[in-house]
A and B are shown apart, each in its own frame.
Chain A
Amino acid sequence: MFKHMKKVFSLIAIASLVFVAACDQMAGNKQQKKGASKTVDATKKAGFVKCGVSQGLPGFSNADASGNWTGVDVDVCRAVAAAVLGDANKVKYTPLSAKERFTALTSGEIDVLSRNTTWTLSRDADIGLTFVGVNFYDGQGFMVRKDSGINSVDDFSDGISACTNIGTTTELNMRDFFNSRNISYEPVAFEKADEVVAAYDAGRCDTYTTDKSGLAAQRTKMANPDDHMVLPETISKEPLGPVVRQGDSVWEDIVRWSLNAMIEAEEYGITSANADSMKSSDNPAVKRLVGAEGELGAAFGLDNEWSLRIIKQVGNYGESYKRNIADTGILPDRGPNELWTKGGILYVPPAR
């Protein structure tokens, strides 16, 4: 009897110990040293940046046959890796569906979400996320078959079926658009972009709606890309940008300024090719950006060459755009994504 009791009590003791230890550890999570960043420490320890990307959107984040990721969204992750770890290739990519992306970020599976994600009020304020900037100004549009006789959204009529993705602002914009025009429509919403393309391509829907950059990119995947066209109208504002978890302001700043550094570098004409020689530039703003003057990196616990590494290893924004979006024939015209000095709306706060 006593022998039995002993066993029982030791079991209870172990169980309570585990419980107490677990609570203790979780309470520990809560406190954070001022000035230090848990995410930066974890990233340095792991040796790679945990980055969430799309499941394949040419120009933004797309993996080739051998698993190399390219795209303007991917370049943001590479820039962060270059700034924090010194090597742009030290990124671990996690392909995510639209549905999974925010949970992956808030649960800590990834530390940066760079996946053509629209910055909206409810997302920014509601779900424990912080948007750090805009790396692509987009807008929602419609794709139709060229021979359909639809040449503008004015040609849409009652009963039209529209294929799209679930879990995106697209679904909401589409409703606002059709309701405001009093057109009854059939929404056919799929979980993955590839499934939307396959269904639209098969003729299930009259139109395919998503961000215009997405339409341009997906068109290249169709059986006959030339049979389809994107309608001229844009029905929404879609500022796409990288997202981080709320609550780690140092990490937030690093991601924000990694992106800003790329855009500012383009503004000052610093490219991956001439970055080193720019150290002897006469312009103090240029010298600050290539780490030859000032102590910019210290503000978020990095060395002074963080931005130089970004420019050398990833390139400036213009190089990234040209390499991923213009040269691949997706959107050769930069439109609003041109610098503010050249008629676009790309404008970032000064790095000083």
Chain B
Amino acid sequence: MKLKKILPQAITLLVVVIIFGFFSLNAQINMANRGIDFGYGFLTQESSFDVQFSLIEYSGSDSYARAYLVGLLNTLLVSILGIILCTVIGVVIGIARLSPNFLIRTTAAWYVEFFRNIPLLLQIFFWYYAALRALPLPQEAEPMLGYFFLTIKGFYTPSLVWMNLDIFIYSIIAAIVSIIFIRIHGKKLRENEGKHIPVLNISITILFILPLLTFFFGGVEVGYETPVLKQLAKTSFIFDGGLSIPPELLSLVIALSLYTATFIAECVRAGIQGVGKGQREAAASIGLNRKQVLNLIIMPQALRIIIPPTTNQYLNLTKNSSLAAAIAYPDLVLVFAGTALMQTGKAIEIVSITMLTYLTLSLSISLLMNWYNAKIAIVEK
């Protein structure tokens, strides 16, 4: 009888192995027939193309491996910004959909129905091409708050210029480490001796005081640089200095987060509505006020419903960020699976690396979210 249990599984495994074997053999034979050689050696070769926007130092004389890193970091940047922004918008809209105020409730509902029913690529095109055209040229841009300029060539903001930035960063790390110790100590005191110390206030104070001290004793200085209009040719201008955010990044983040926020809003609404009415009434009946009811009774239970579907939306956003290629934002797909693939012709190698990268990204996000989900799950006592 044991055989009967194991055999079907063994056969499934065999079939899977055969299918994979078949495809890799097929690819191998066909590539050999067509004179294409296989290998990852190209990664160390000089890439010889430039990338518009990079978080790390990069030029065309660096290797393809570094070009890959540039693309990956750009994908991460747009994903992280998108996830933060869509969560904020999503929670606000989700709660607004349950508002007793008719206007707020209806507006939120319209928002959700409008943005989630238009294909994402179309929205990206809208934010890039339609919105971009409406922006002024650099020389015609009016400053916002004095130093911010939103132009067709990008969003220019003042940037901070640091002296001894490393000392400042170390001080923040030191502050965080000491806060962790204080929390542990505070918990011990509370559990062993029943004493309460104001952990939160102490933490905030440390987080401010320690970095602040480095300005007086650590030689840390901070200045700022503002964007200045610079003429390239008679009618061609840019802003020089400060920080410039390319319009491609802006429109991609806006489109991705507005789109994904609609789904998160629905998750939030479902979560809050999923908590029984009786819970609220019971909480009120033992004398908790409105804020306490929301924070102590409703939210902990709602979060358990909200987190798993929200994880899906985070994964979607990350994968959807690959639509960046359409509007020239140099993400992993455009830089690596685009230009690098074209220059080297290593289709199988590059596509496999890219697929593996997205798989790793998605698995990391879902691991993180599953951990958080497990942490907030109700512990049976």
Contacts and interface: CB of A to CB of B under 8 A. Distances in A.
A70 to B, nearest CB: 27
A188 B347 contact: no
Contact of A188 (B29, B48, B328): B328
A274 interface: no
Given A15-B18, A179-B60, A246 B48 contact: no
Given A186-B52, A188-B52, A204-B132, A160 B236 contact: yes
B343 A172 contact: yes
A155 B328 contact: no
A167 B341 CA distance: 8
Contact of A202 (B21, B152, B347): B152
A330 interface: no
Binding site secondary structure of chain B? helix
Contacts of A157: 232-233
Contact of A206 (B232, B246, B334): B232
Interface string A218-236: 0000000000000000000
Contacts of A190: 326-328
A30 B35 contact: no
Given A23-B25, A30-B29, A149-B234, A106 B342 contact: no
Interface string B31-62: 01111100000000000111110000000100
Contact of A149 (B7, B33, B236, B342): B236
Interface in A1-17: 1, 4, 8, 11-12, 15-16
A344 B158 CA distance: 55
A29 interface: yes
B120 interface: no
A26 B132 contact: no
10 contacts: A23-B25, A106-B34, A128-B35, A150-B236, A167-B338, A172-B48, A175-B48, A175-B60, A202-B129, A204-B153
Interface of A: 1, 4, 8, 11-12, 15-16, 19, 22-23, 26-27, 29-30, 98-99, 102-103, 106, 122-123, 126-128, 145, 147-150, 155-161, 163, 166-168, 171-172, 174-175, 179, 185-192, 195, 198-199, 202-204, 206, 245-247
Interface of B: 4, 7-8, 11, 14-15, 18, 21-22, 25-26, 29-30, 32-36, 48-52, 60, 129, 132-133, 137, 152-153, 230, 232-236, 238, 240, 246-248, 325-328, 330, 334, 338-339, 341-345, 347
